[in-house]
Amino acid sequence: MMLERYRTSVNSVPDDVAELLLTHLGVPTRDDTISLFDFLREWHVGQCDVVLALLRLNSPRCLRCASAVMGRRITKCPPSLAQVRGPRPPAPRVPSGDDRRVTWRMRQYKKLNGRKILPGTPIYFRLEKIRVGLSVRQLLARGLRRKDLRIASRRKWIRLEGT
């Protein structure tokens, strides 16, 4: 509810800014016979609603009107705290098993007359996607299964960090 002491400052808002304000607040347009203060009071709009709506309209004129309604000067500053402190350090991550990387990979194919011969089962086609330096998470994203990695590690076709 709007307090009576804000009557003069709310009524001093120019008509064009008042129309933008009413549109932003979602209340219908008013007659010129009723003051802006009385109209907003009928619609149960408070001073903080008016100030927040004026600040969201984001123009120098609306900022001046918001300062008048507040009764205090509002200064709009760029965010400078981040420049003083620098960028925020990344949050510490707990390493999981998916962060291990492939350190060595054995060729899965044989050459016969200069051509690659691969066994025809689907696991071998998936194992062809393994590259040294990729993490387990990246390999899973490429379409490998955890079971493929277990089999390849058990058969000594690949080596993972920490194993």
- Which of these, 29, 26, 24, 54, lies nearest to 39 by C-alpha position? 29
- What is the reported pLDDT for 159? 93
- What is the reported pLDDT for 104? 92
Please indicate, yes or no, whether residues 12 and 53 belong to a single structural domain of this protein.
Answer: yes
Give the H or E element holding residue 160: strand 158-160
Q: What is the pLDDT along the chain (163 residues), one digit of tens a residue?
A: 567 777 788 888 888 888 888 888 888 877 777 788 888 888 888 888 888 888 888 888 888 888 888 888 877 766 665 566 666 777 777 767 788 999 999 876 666 676 766 667 788 888 888 999 999 999 999 999 999 999 999 988 899 987 6
- 91 domain residue, yes or no: no
Integer CA distances (angstroms), 36 to 10, 28, 59, 129, in order: 7, 12, 20, 69
- What is the reported pLDDT for 82? 55
CB distance 47 to 6 below 8 Å: yes
Please indicate, yes or no, whether residues 66 and 8 belong to a single structural domain of this protein.
Answer: yes
- 89 domain residue, yes or no: no
- 140 domain residue, yes or no: yes
Q: Which of 53, 70, 87 is the last residue of a domain?
A: 70
- 134 domain residue, yes or no: yes
- What is the reported pLDDT for 84? 62
- 151 domain residue, yes or no: yes
- 34 domain residue, yes or no: yes
Buried b vs exposed e over 74-85: b needs ≥16 C-beta within 10 Å? eeeeeeeeeeee
Residue 155's domain comprises 97-160
- What is the reported pLDDT for 18? 84
- 78 domain residue, yes or no: no
pTM for this predicted structure: 0.45
In whole angstroms, give the CA distance from residue 47 to residue 28. Answer: 18
Give the count of domains, the chain.
Answer: 2
- What is the reported pLDDT for 117? 64
